[in-house]
Structure 1
Amino acid sequence: MTIPDVISRSDTDAAAPRHGHRFLLIGTGTIFAYHLPLYHVPVHAFQMINKFGLAESLRTKYLDDLASHEDQQVYYSLFSEGHWPLKEIVDGTRDSLPVELERVTVDSAGNRTFTKILDETTATCRPQDVVFYKPLDATTYPDNLTCLAFGQGSEVHLAHQLAAPPNWDEVITTTQPVGFQQGDLDHAAAVVIPTIKDPKGVVQESPLVKGKTYKGLIGTREVTFTVGRQGWWNNTSLNT
């Protein structure tokens, strides 16, 4: 199964004609790209966080549209047509890719619709801008909820670290992060949340409650954060 790209068409619509990579846009100061992983599609079976060089028109459109939908379950993705290997970004054999900006909306049944809001432009990429890259090859679940921390300065994001399938995929932006170091964010340090047991499977809603403050551990060092905006959620196509 692959995830289609058509204007205002559900992610469950098998008739969509094009296939490729999607990268969720996360952040406002520094904009990060989070690859949409799929366990059972080999070319997409990777969890990846990186930064692209984005055209100013794309940055402006994304930031303006995000500001208009800040309190809604709306996400933003870059679609790049083709099943090229992500490792081309990591090893530096690819330095650019065509992308279209999409607004991703979710209905009451949880179906996602990807709507193009900016025509194709070119994004640039460099291996030194890859924050995290790992195949989805874990065979066991952790004992406690574990996230990957990334961001810049006071803007800290957490992506659910994907272990064994089935699972769920999520990215949130924190508010009031305390104790995070830039070195943690530059290399997507693992943050363990001791008070939340890993569900060891699919969940229907995030274990991280918006507005609630949590303590986490990076190694033995304590960090704290409050859950802010959800930048991505997937508990369906990730697993099928």
Structure 2
Amino acid sequence: MNDDAKPWPIKDTPNTHGMFMLGTTTLYLCHMPMFGMEDHLYQMTLQVRLDPASMSTYLADKAQHPGSPYNLTNLERDSFTLPQVACGQVRQYVAAIYRDYSNEGGGTPGTQIVGEATVFVERVVVYRAFDQNIPRPANLTYVLFGDGKEAHLDHYIAVDPDFQHLLTLPAVPEWLDVTQLQAGVLVSFPQPSTPIGCTPPVTPGAHTVQFQGLAGAAVPLTVGTTFWYSTGNSLNAVDPCGARQAAESAISNEVAQ
């Protein structure tokens, strides 16, 4: 242990929290974690609903931009801690909704489509504080969850460095009970969890995964198109793909000119 290391601030402080939006039949929010900040040292997925006007705007906009990531961030005047949400102390808050998101500047939202949406927290699907003493799974692991009409995958984030990967499946797996899907389960792909790459490690198409890592529970899973993959957004202390992303951005700007 480095005696000169800065003491870690154990107590969370109320803050703003960016969360990616998944789903249309039921809305889920996936928190954007950061290994370097106590306030964001969590992987968290919420099942929520929005006020009718905001939900209608989101659905209409998403229908026009099906490949875009959507992000929801609580307003500063409505700051909170994630443990408060987990304990049920925060059940409603006001947030802005954005279409598209960039890794630039540690994370930059795109076009605002709703300035003040009321978010109603219905339940917590995933709540896990990171522990750097607990190793990452040996195989590539995801949280599989949904409402029975839609199903989603959220990469199991473990230790720095890591990545956030979110996608919606083209079909709900028939081998899983709806209640289990609603509660969320773990599935692991055959490939190892490292090294951390700069592109999604799971490609669209048919795969065989292990339910809860059990060798005797190999099941089929069809993966669709990724709508968010990132090693940035201040998730890691140092973005392992930062230089590559900057170079690709520069090339894209040159082509555009």
TM range (shorter): 0.7 to 0.9
Within the candidate set 47, 51, 54, 1:51 is matched to: 47
Provide the residue aligned with 2:208 in structure 1.
215
2:87 pairs with one of 79, 86, 91: 91
For the pair 1:104 / 2:97, whether they are aligned, the reply is: no
218 and 138 in structure 1: CA distance in 2 versus 1, 3 angstrom threshold: farther
Deviation at 1:35, TM superposition (A): 1.0
Is it true that 1:26 corresponds to 2:22 in the alignment?
yes
Please tell me the root mean square deviation across aligned C-alpha atoms, in Å: 2.2
CA distance in 2, matches of 1:36, 1:150: 17
8 Å contact kept, 1:147–1:191: yes
User: How many equivalent pairs are there?
Assistant: 214
- 1:78 equivalent to 2:75? Answer no
2:7 corresponds to which residue? none
Amino acid at match of 1:215: T
Q: What residue in structure 2 maps to residue 141 of structure 1? A: 136
Q: Matches of 1:69 and 1:217 in 2, distance apart?
A: 33
Change (3 A) 1:87 1:190: same
CA contact (8 A) 1:171 1:233 kept: yes
Structure 2: 5+ residue stretches without partners? 1-14, 238-257
Compute the displacement of 1:234 (Å): 1.9
Identity of aligned residues (%): 26
Specify whether residues 105 and 92 from structure 1 end up closer, same or farther in structure 2 by C-alpha distance, changes over 3 A only: closer
- Is 1:131 matched with 2:129? no
- Rounded to whole Å, the distance in 2 between the matches of 1:91 and 1:107 is 31
Distance in 2 (alpha carbons) for counterparts of 1:43 and 1:63: 30
- Largest Rg, 1 or 2: 2
C-alpha deviation, 1:223, in angstroms: 2.8
- For 1:151, the equivalent position in structure 2 comes to 146
Distance across 1 between alignment mates of 2:219 and 2:42: 27
Q: Which residue of 2 aligns with 1:238?
A: 235
Counterpart residue identity of residue 158, structure 2: A
- The C-alpha deviation readout for 1:163-198, integer Å capped at 9, x for no partner, is 1110100111112333122233222211111x2111
Cα 1:145–1:103, aligned 2, differ >3 Å: closer, same or farther?
same
Residues 86-134 of structure 1: CA deviation (Å, up to 9, x unaligned): 11111111121111111124599x97543211111321224xx111100
CA distance in 2, matches of 1:205, 1:61: 31
Change (3 A) 1:111 1:100: closer
CA drift at 1:238: 1.0
SS of equivalent residue, structure 1 residue 175: coil
Higher helix share: 2
TM-score computed with the length of structure 2 as normaliser: 0.76
Q: CA shift at 1:68, angstroms?
A: 1.1
Alpha-carbon distance between aligned partners in 1 of 2:83 and 2:191, rounded to the nearest angstrom: 33
